[in-house]
Amino acid sequence: MTVRHPLALWCLCVALLLGSACTSAQQTGADADDGRQPSLRQFSAWLDAFNTGDRERYEEFLRDNFPSLLAFLDEEMGFRELTGGFELQKLERVTATQVSGLVQERASDQFARFELQVEAAEPHVILSLDLAAIPRPQEFAIERLTEGEAIAGVEALLETEVAADRFSGALLVAKDGEVLLSDAYGMADRERGIPSTLQTRFRIGSMNKMVTAVAILQLVEAGTIELDAPLGEYLTDYPNERLADEVTIHHLLTHTGGTGDIFGPDFDVHREELRTLGDYVELYGTRGFEFKPGNRWAYSNYGFVLLGVVIDRVTGRTYYDYVQEHIYEPAGMTLSGSLPEDEAVPDRSIGYMKPPGTTEWVPNTDTLPYRGTSAGGGYSTVEDLASFADALLNHELLSPESTELLITAKVESGPGAGYAYGFDDRRDEDENGWVGHGGGAPGMNGDLRIYPRSGYVIVVLANLDPPAAQRISDYLDARLPME
């Protein structure tokens, strides 16, 4: 069985998705003839079995009707727990051997397009089931709520998610600097019985990229760095001279440099040895391009590691010291940082993940890098990140011109999505929408969404696998007023 998951909500959960797909048994849009088609009958029966969440019933169904999926039973049950099952929203095509249409997660607003195929001959065994996450179709647009209704709605959603053990973390929602809702949920440390609070420091993954980009723009304002300058102007001893000559600071900030990732087999082998930003350059610095710089967009953690090394070189200080003095302190971010994992940090949460094929939360300790980098991996609180957003909007970190340069999309990063300098830009032509960045890895998920036009700020941090936090910010994004 093939599964496609191009959107962030599922791309962050690849390990859970192998062999997975889901919908509901409802036959919206089907006429009487459609209902007699073998493909739709099998589809409906499969959906019934999957949505029950009953392992024995689902296993029995697969054995008789979809035996090729039996090997992925553990992953399937984990995916069912994650999504809550699916509801059929629309049938698009029904033939004797194929059915396709649209479904929505029961536990979120996420839509997907599915296609199921069966054998032509009895008993019409299921041959394949493809599921691809898609943007919510306009015909199923969610109605905007009043501010009070949206806040009440997200409180109810959080109650459900916490009860289902799908959320543990903290949320802050503000408008024009006034906090509308802030609270913490679940456990920061399950083994020691320590609950989450607003002072709990959650790992923020790639959200550090926003801080790194602000630091670079500060140095551009100071005349220390030029956006169009090649990397080699600042890292004169970079191992791959051609890459250093052709990749610019602009390319690195926009993920258009073709510099690749840091995660993979090499990282797994050397995880505990990678202690400084320079260690990453030593490991990956001889690599060439993945594509010609500027030709396309491809997310590159290594590119943001290189930006941290540039900050080291041009300031004569460590990246960590620079951002502490020039970003965290001016913004009032007193609980944010990137101290190593072997140093005791008060109120730093434990992350919990569900490895592929398992259904129990386990600590993510053995997956963590030694220390967060300029690409991600630090820690913060919802209040600190809200302070960061306020400082940015109030031009306490950058001038108005540099702030606009920072957050305005430079390149298309996906359908309806743009990427600026370390910030996603999800604003429409009327400037409605948000700028910010998410972060996700096993046992951690976070999201900061800043709405420059309406004044809203949403911060969600979780110490569980994605999409624990983004499910909450997605809910609010679709329902808060635009003004």
Nearest-10 Cα torsion for 476, 481, 482, 483: -140
Residue 202's nearest CA partner among 190, 192, 188, 191 is: 188
Cα–Cα distance for residue pair 446/51, rounded to 1 Å: 28
User: Which pLDDT tens digit goes with each residue over 193-204?
Assistant: 999 999 999 999
Q: How many residues does the chain have?
A: 483
Residue 474: inside a domain, yes or no?
Answer: yes
Domain end (from 140, 162, 184):
140
Judged by average pLDDT, the poorest of 225-229, 263-267, 330-334 is 263-267
pTM listed for this prediction: 0.88
Residue 410: inside a domain, yes or no?
Answer: yes
How many other CB atoms sit within 10 Å of the CB of residue 378? 23
Nearest-10 Cα torsion for 198, 201, 206, 208: 90
> At residue 24, what is the residue type?
S
Q: Let me know whether 124 and 171 are in one domain.
A: no
The predicted structure's pLDDT at residue 121: 96
Q: What angle do CA 289, 303, 254 make, to 5 degrees?
A: 95
Q: Let me know whether 50 and 123 are in one domain.
A: yes
Q: Let me know whether 159 and 101 are in one domain.
A: no
Q: CB-side exposure of 153: number of CA atoms within 13 Å? A: 18
Residue 1: inside a domain, yes or no?
Answer: no
The predicted structure's pLDDT at residue 82: 82
Three-state secondary-structure class, residue 378: strand
Domain end (from 109, 140, 171):
140
Give the CATH number for residue 239. 3.40.710.10
Strands 202-205 and 352-353: unpaired
Instruction: Say whether pLDDT at 155 is over 70.
Output: yes
Q: Are 149 and 141 in contact (CB under 8 A)?
A: no
Residue 2: inside a domain, yes or no?
Answer: no
Q: CB-side exposure of 370: number of CA atoms within 13 Å? A: 12
Band of residue 359 on the pLDDT scale cut at 50, 70, 90: confident
Q: Let me know whether 123 and 62 are in one domain.
A: yes
User: Which pLDDT tens digit goes with each residue over 418-444?
Assistant: 999 999 999 999 999 999 999 999 999
Q: Let me know whether 311 and 345 are in one domain.
A: yes
Q: Let me know whether 18 and 158 are in one domain.
A: no
Q: Let me know whether 162 and 123 are in one domain.
A: no
Band of residue 5 on the pLDDT scale cut at 50, 70, 90: very low
Rg of the chain in Å (alpha carbons): 23
Cα of 279 vs its chain's centroid, Å: 26
Residue 114: inside a domain, yes or no?
Answer: yes
Residue 167's nearest CA partner among 149, 192, 151, 184 is: 184
Cα of 376 vs its chain's centroid, Å: 12
Question: Whole domain around residue 248: which residue ranges?
Answer: 147-479
> What residue has token string 């959080």?
158
Q: Let me know whether 421 and 447 are in one domain.
A: yes
Q: Which two tokens stand for residue 311?
A: 């900050």
Residue 3: inside a domain, yes or no?
Answer: no
Band of residue 4 on the pLDDT scale cut at 50, 70, 90: very low
User: Which pLDDT tens digit goes with each residue over 87-138?
Assistant: 999 999 999 999 999 999 998 999 999 999 999 999 999 999 998 899 899 9
Cα–Cα distance for residue pair 304/308, rounded to 1 Å: 6
Q: Which two tokens stand for residue 481?
A: 């007023």
- What is the separation, in whole angstroms, between the first and last Cα of the chain? 45
Q: Which two tokens stand for residue 342?
A: 């072997």
Q: Let me know whether 386 and 284 are in one domain.
A: yes
Residue 314: inside a domain, yes or no?
Answer: yes
Judged by average pLDDT, the poorest of 5-19, 58-72, 267-281, 306-320 is 5-19
Instruction: Say whether pLDDT at 26 is over 80.
Output: no
The predicted structure's pLDDT at residue 356: 79
Residue 124: inside a domain, yes or no?
Answer: yes
Q: Let me know whether 189 and 221 are in one domain.
A: yes
Q: Let me know whether 42 and 172 are in one domain.
A: no
Give the CATH number for residue 18. 3.10.450
> At residue 166, what is the residue type?
R
- What angle, 0 to 180 degrees and rounded to 10, lies between the N-to-C axes of helices 277-284 and 301-315? 120
- What angle, 0 to 180 degrees and rounded to 10, lies between the N-to-C axes of helices 147-163 and 470-479? 160
Q: Are 477 and 434 in contact (CB under 8 A)?
A: yes
Q: Let me know whether 177 and 123 are in one domain.
A: no
Cα–Cα distance for residue pair 453/205, rounded to 1 Å: 27
Listed in order, strand segments (DSSP E) in 106-256 are: 111-118, 126-134, 169-175, 178-185, 187-189, 194-195, 202-205
State how many domains the chain has.
Answer: 2
Domain end (from 140, 157, 181):
140
